């Protein structure tokens, strides 16, 4: 049940016949998102293999919510997720390190707004 999101690729129709062959033999992978309480966000909690959306939802329920972890479940096919490339991490995220002025910490707030 390892995440198999291909970094930096845009999902399209499976071009190579090999990918199609594997699809027939191996169930596709799904990413599972669970909402623990009404009002909270769905959080990613893992992945699983399933043949179709209904089976993915049922198995997600059995695998990830059997100890009362959830009130709602989403599943998304892993190959439908586009992820940033870990190799580009430096150029994507490091430039933000020295830009503290982007945090709104330099404003003096009136007392009545103390708990912002």
Partner 1 sequence: MQSTPSITVSSHPSVQYLLRIGDTCLILAQRLGEWCGHAPIVEEDIALTNMALDLIGQARAVLTRAGALEAALGGEAHDEDQLAFLREEREFRNCTIVELPRGDFAVTVLRNLAMAIFLRLLWQRLERSSDGELAAIAGKAVKEARYHREHAAGWVVRLGDGTAESSARTKAALALLWPYIAELFADDAVDDAADADGLGPRWSDLRDDWHAEFGAVLAAAGLEVPAERAFRSAGKAGRHSEHLGYVLAEMQYLQRAYPGGVW
- Judged by CB under 8 A, the residue of 28, 42, 44, 55 near partner 1 is 55
- How distant, in Å, are the alpha carbons of 88, 102, 107 from that of 98? 18, 9, 18
As a whole number of angstroms, the distance between CA 53 and CA 111 comes to: 52
> SS3 for 36?
coil
Least Cβ distance, residue 57 to partner 1 (angstroms) = 10
Least Cβ distance, residue 66 to partner 1 (angstroms) = 6
Half-sphere exposure of 83 (CA within 13 A, CB side): 13
- Residue 75 touching partner 1 (CB under 8 A): no
- Judged by CB under 8 A, the residue of 36, 45, 58, 81 near partner 1 is 58
Q: What does the binding site for partner 1 look like in residue numbers (CB under 8 A)?
A: 1, 27, 48-52, 54-55, 58-59, 61-63, 66
């Amino acid at each position: 049940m390892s995440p198999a999101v291909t970094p930096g690729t845009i999902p399209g129709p499976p071009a190579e016949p090999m990918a199609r062959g594997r699809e027939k033999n191996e169930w596709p992978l799904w990413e599972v998102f669970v909402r623990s309480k009404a009002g909270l966000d769905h959080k990613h909690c893992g992945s699983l293999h399933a043949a179709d959306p209904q089976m993915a939802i049922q198995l997600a329920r059995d695998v990830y919510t059997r100890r009362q972890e959830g009130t709602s479940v989403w599943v998304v096919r892993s190959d439908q997720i586009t992820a940033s490339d870990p190799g580009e991490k430096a150029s994507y995220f490091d430039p933000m390190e020295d830009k503290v002025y982007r945090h709104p910490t330099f404003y003096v707030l009136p007392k009545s707004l103390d708990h912002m």
